[in-house]
Amino acid sequence: MRLILTLEYDGTPFRGWAAQPGLPTIEAALRQALGETFASVENLAVAGRTDTGVHALGQVASVDVEDGPPPERAAAALTARLPDEITVFSSGEAPAGFHARHSARSRSYRYRLFTRATIELIYKLQPWIPDREAHWTQTLEVPLSGVP
C-alpha cells in the first residue's frame, strides 16, 4: 500500500533531507522510523529535498509499506519513533499513481532575511514560527551595502 505523509520539521540539527553516511538527515530518521513501524518499506519519495538546517512546514512524502498500522494511524506511529524535531502530522492511503515528487503541483519557499547585526531573539528561540499572513507577490530587492 502506498502512503502519503505530510511532515514538518526543524532542520537545525540535520544535514538536509537526503541520506548521507554518518550524518543526521531527515530521510535517514524517517527511514529508520518506517523500518521500525512497517514490515516492508520501499520507494520513499519526497516532493522536494531541503538543505542543511532548512525547516519544513508541509513536506509531502510517499512510500510503499506493508504490515503495519492502518494509514490513518501511521502519522502517530511514526511520530512516536522520530526525533523531537520531526513530526508526521498527517497520513493516509495515497491515490492510485501518486508519487510525492512527480505529482506535486507546486512548491513554495519562505526566506527570512535579517538586515541588522543581531537576529531577533524570538527567531533564535524558534527560528521558524509560521507567518501565514506574509505572502510575497513581487520581487524582493534587498540592498546589501551597509549591512554588517
Q: How does pLDDT run across 96-140, given as a tens digit for each residue?
A: 999 999 998 888 877 766 666 666 655 555 544 444 444 444 445
Q: Can you give the residue ranges of every domain in the chain? A: 2-93
Nearest to residue 110, comparing CAs of 134, 86, 87, 143? Answer: 134
Task: Tell me which of 3.30.70.580, 3.90.1300.10, 3.30.43.10, 3.40.50.720 is the CATH number of domain 2-93.
Answer: 3.30.70.580
Give the C-alpha separation, 115 to 44, whole Å.
Answer: 39
Predicted TM-score of the model (pTM): 0.77
Confirm whether 51 is a catalytic residue: yes
Residue 127 makes CB contacts below 8 A (sequence gap 6+) with: 10, 12, 55
- Residues 6 or more apart in contact with residue 77 via CB below 8 angstroms: 37, 68, 69
Query: How large is the angle between the packed helices 71-79 and 26-37, nearest 10 degrees?
Result: 120
What is the C-alpha separation between 46 and 4, in angstroms, rounded?
10
Residue 127: per-residue pLDDT: 47
Which listed residue (10, 51, 67, 84) is catalytic?
51
| 124 vs 92, higher pLDDT | 92
Residue type, 78: L
For range 16-40, the mean pLDDT: 96
